[in-house]
């Protein structure tokens, strides 16, 4: 009798439910991943970011420039955070990420406007993330029209009508043609490394306990640090190979430039590799099977993709999401890579990110070492 047995089918069904309930980690993932995705996509991600840090290089001051700046501030796209004395100082701020925009009001701006000489108002934008700076830049025309029409009254009212009283010149720095690849490709390195390094390390270590070989290993006089270093170092080399492949492909296939300091890049790279491996090691001390290690790794990779600024502008996220993103190692490495490759950053421009990575690393390594036991209990 080869018929379909409802009893057998139900037995398999029930067994599956029982096993699902017993595997706590998988169960947590089934609930956790949708919740995280919903929260992140629903609340944290905003592809039209506002309040981007902006600095002014004021070569002149007067009613027109004041009107323009107040209109820009009112648009909520720009958050004026101070002044710089020159464009050069402003560009330094763009490079370190302290500012997304520099508004340069040239000397004699007010006078030239009154004379009808249509001077240039320069806006230097950090276009290494075009999705972050695109919105504000395209809103500029409207903002200036409003500024001139509503704010200028009295003898200057005439400037609001007719042909524009000045030109807005936007310099899209670092990615003038807004090529998506130039933004995405450097960020991909951070994501690729997070994905492979964490998973590979976690699985390589969990494999020892899953197969029981850990029992032989720790019955020998080997010290935890010897195991940790010995297991991790091969994957550091894997990380190097991945990076070399990546750099060659970025240059040859996608035409992504490498403007900055190789030394700064290598320092950031090594730190990031170590952080990821330590994270993998930490996961391996919690996971009981390779399957669980895999799931936990995916759990940590999600925020690396969504909250790091890779897919969506960091500046567009609410404060709590930015705080979460700051804890994600990929956030800092992503900035390092973009800064060095696109903005030509030197070591001095990435000290903040290096510091953050060091803090994250110290925390992860400490927790991992505390969790790794030399005994089986």
Residues engaged in binding another protein (CB under 8 A):
211-222, 374-377
Closer to another protein by CB, 221 or 319: give it.
221
Q: For residues 213 and 176, give the distance between their C-alpha atoms in angstroms, rounded to a whole number.
A: 55
- The distance of closest approach from Cβ of residue 215 to another protein in the complex, given in angstroms and rounded to an integer, is 5
Closer to another protein by CB, 214 or 291: give it.
214
Q: For residues 357 and 339, give the distance between their C-alpha atoms in angstroms, rounded to a whole number.
A: 15
CB atoms within 10 A of CB 38: 10
Q: For residues 300 and 189, give the distance between their C-alpha atoms in angstroms, rounded to a whole number.
A: 16
- The distance of closest approach from Cβ of residue 214 to another protein in the complex, given in angstroms and rounded to an integer, is 8
Q: What are phi and psi of 294, to 5 degrees?
A: -60, -45
Residue 41 to residues 27, 321, 335: CA-CA distances in angstroms?
22, 11, 21
- The distance of closest approach from Cβ of residue 229 to another protein in the complex, given in angstroms and rounded to an integer, is 14
CB-facing half-sphere around the CA of 300: CA atoms within 13 A: 28
Closer to another protein by CB, 201 or 304: give it.
201
Closer to another protein by CB, 88 or 376: give it.
376
CB atoms within 10 A of CB 204: 19
Contact assessment for residue 324 and residue 303, using Cβ atoms and an 8 Å cutoff:
yes
- The distance of closest approach from Cβ of residue 218 to another protein in the complex, given in angstroms and rounded to an integer, is 6
Closer to another protein by CB, 128 or 284: give it.
284
- The distance of closest approach from Cβ of residue 29 to another protein in the complex, given in angstroms and rounded to an integer, is 26
Closer to another protein by CB, 98 or 207: give it.
207
Instruction: Beginning with the edge strand found earlier in the chain, give each strand of the sheet holding 101-105 in spatial order.
Output: 78-83, 52-58, 101-105, 120-126, 167-173
- The distance of closest approach from Cβ of residue 219 to another protein in the complex, given in angstroms and rounded to an integer, is 4
Closer to another protein by CB, 15 or 373: give it.
373
Render 118-176 in DSSP notation, one character per residue: -PEEEEEEETTSHHHHHHHHHHHHHHHHHIIIII--GGGGGGGSSS-SSEEEEEEES-T
Q: Which of 134, 133, 236, 128 is nearest to 185 (CA)?
A: 128
- The distance of closest approach from Cβ of residue 221 to another protein in the complex, given in angstroms and rounded to an integer, is 5
């Amino acid at each position: 009798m080869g018929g379909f047995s409802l009893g057998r089918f139900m037995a398999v069904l029930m067994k599956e439910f029982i096993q699902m309930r017993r595997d706590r980690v998988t169960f947590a993932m089934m609930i956790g991943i949708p919740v995280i995705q919903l929260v992140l996509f629903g609340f944290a991600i905003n592809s039209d970011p506002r309040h981007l840090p902006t600095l002014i290089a004021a070569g002149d001051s007067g009613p027109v420039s004041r009107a323009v700046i107040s209109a820009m501030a009112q648009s909520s796209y720009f958050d004026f955070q101070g002044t710089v004395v020159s464009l050069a100082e402003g560009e330094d701020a763009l490079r370190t990420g302290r500012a997304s925009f520099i508004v340069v009001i040239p000397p004699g701006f007010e006078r030239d406007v009154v004379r009808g000489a249509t001077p240039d108002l320069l806006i230097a934008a950090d276009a290494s993330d075009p999705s972050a700076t695109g919105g504000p830049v395209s809103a500029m025309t409207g903002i200036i029209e409003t500024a001139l029409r509503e704010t200028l009254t009295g003898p200057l009212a005439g400037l609001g009508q007719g042909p524009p009283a000045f030109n807005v010149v936007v310099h899209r720095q670092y990615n003038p043609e807004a090529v998506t690849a130039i933004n995405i490709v450097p960020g991909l390195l951070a994501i690729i490394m997070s994905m492979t390094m964490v998973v590979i390390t976690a699985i390589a270590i969990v494999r020892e306990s899953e197969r029981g070989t850990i029992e032989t290993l720790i019955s020998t006089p080997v010290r935890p640090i010897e195991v940790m270093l010995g297991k991790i170092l091969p994957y550091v080399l894997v990380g190097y190979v991945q990076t070399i492949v990546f750099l060659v492909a970025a240059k040859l296939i996608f035409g992504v430039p490498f403007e900055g300091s190789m030394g700064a890049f290598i320092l950031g790279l090594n730190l990031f590799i170590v952080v990821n491996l330590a994270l993998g090691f930490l996961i391996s001390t919690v996971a009981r099977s390779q399957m669980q290690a895999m799931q936990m790794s995916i759990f940590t990779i999600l925020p690396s993709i969504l909250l790091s600024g890779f897919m969506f502008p960091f500046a567009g996220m609410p404060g709590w999401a930015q705080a979460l993103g700051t804890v994600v190692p990929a956030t800092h490495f992503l900035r390092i890579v973009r800064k060095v490759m696109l903005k030509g950053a030197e070591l001095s421009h990435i000290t903040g990110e290096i510091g953050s990575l060091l803090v994250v690393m110290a925390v992860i390594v400490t927790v991992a070492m505390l969790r790794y036991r030399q005994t089986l209990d």
